Amino acid sequence: MLDNGVLLAVKRIKDWGISKHDFERRMNLIAQVKHPLVMPPVAYYCSQQEKLLAYEYLTNGSLFTLLYGSQSGHCLDWRSRLDVAVKIADALAYMHEELGESGIAHGNLKSSNILFDKNMDPQISEYGLMVAENQGVISHMKGLKNRSMSAAIFRADIYAFGVILLELLTGKVVKNDGFDLVKWVNSVISEEWTAEVFDRSLISQGASEERMVNLLQVALKCINPSPNDRLSMSQVALITNALRDEDEKSVSFDS
C-alpha cells in the first residue's frame, strides 16, 4: 500500500532474461502510453534475480470474472458489453497507431487483463510484457524480416481482440475441457446457425440481434486466419463506435 492509501498488486516477471538496461528501456516505452483506459505500472524493480512490476489494485475485477464468475454483483448486459468493446478498441487503436512513430503492442491481450476501475470503465493492463525484448527497436529497423516480425505482433493483438469480442457475444470461455471458442463459433456459423452463438442472457434482455451480428462480423474479421486480411485497430474502433451510436439511437427511439 502507498502512503496515500492506494493498494498495489505486484507482478513478478518470469523467464524474461534481459539486461537491466534493456528492461529499463522497455519500462520507458511502456511509460509512454498515456491513455485513460490503459493502466501503466506504478513502479518497477529490477535485479539480476527478479523483475517486479507494481500496479494499482482495482477492486472491481476483470472482464473474465465479470463474464464467468462475478462475485461483485455487477452484470454485463448488452449495452455494457458493447461499451467495453468500443473502449478497448479505442485504447488499442491509440496504442497501435497514435502512440508516436512505432506504437506499442500489448502482446498478451485477454479478458483477464481487462480490469475495471471504480467507475466500471475497462482498463487494459499488463501490456508490453510478452513482446520480444527488442520490439521497440524492431519498428525502427529497415530489414524486411524485422518489420514483418513487428507487424505480426500487432496483428496478434487484433486476433486477441477478436477473441474478446467472441467472449462478449457468447458468454463462453475461450478454452475449457477440450472446448475451443474460435472453432466452435466457426462451426456454428458454417451450419448457418449464427443466432445460436449468442449469449442467451443477451437475447432474453432484448438485445438487438442485428447489432450482435454486426459485432460478430467484426470479430470474425479480426480472427481471420490470414493476418494480412485482418482489420486494423483504427478500423475496428471506427466500426464499433458506429455500432454503439446506432444502438443508442435505437434505444432513444424505442423509449
From the list 218, 180, 216, the residue with the least C-alpha distance to 198 is 216
pLDDT, mean of residues 35-62: 90
Domains parsed from the chain with CATH numbers = 59-254 (1.10.510.10)
In the numeric block, which cell numbers belong to residue 21?
538496461
56 φ, ψ (degrees, to nearest 5): -65, 135
- What's the distance, Cα to Cα, between the start and end of the chain in Å? 46
pTM of the model: 0.88
Q: Contacts from 196-203 at CB under 8 Å and sequence distance 24+?
A: 197/169, 197/170, 198/169, 198/170, 199/169, 199/170, 199/171, 199/172, 200/171, 201/171, 202/77, 202/78, 202/81, 202/169, 202/171
Decide if pLDDT at 22 tops 60.
Answer: yes
151 contacts 127 by C-beta, under 8 angstroms: no
pLDDT band at residue 1, thresholds of 50, 70 and 90?
low
Res 7: pLDDT: 84
* 26-56: burial string, b at 16+ Cβ within 10 Å, e else: bbebbeebebebbbbbeebebeeeebebebb
Decide if pLDDT at 173 tops 90.
Answer: yes
Greatest Cα pair distance in the chain: 61
Provide, rounded to the nearest whole percent, the portion of the chain with pLDDT above 90.
56
Decide if pLDDT at 97 tops 60.
Answer: yes
Rg of the chain's alpha carbons, rounded to an integer? 19
For residue 22, give every residue at least 6 positions away whose Cβ sits within 8 Å of its Cβ, in sequence order, or none. Answer: 133, 134
Decide if pLDDT at 134 tops 60.
Answer: no
92 contacts 106 by C-beta, under 8 angstroms: yes
Res 140: pLDDT: 34
161 contacts 122 by C-beta, under 8 angstroms: no
Strands 43-46 and 122-124: unpaired
d(CA 12, CA 14): 6
Decide if pLDDT at 226 tops 80.
Answer: yes
Mean pLDDT rounded to a whole number for the chain: 85
Phi-psi region of 103 (alpha: psi -120 to 50; beta: other; left: phi over 0): left
3 state DSSP class of 254:
helix
Q: What is the DSSP string of 54-78?
A: EEEPPTT-BHHHHHH---SS----H
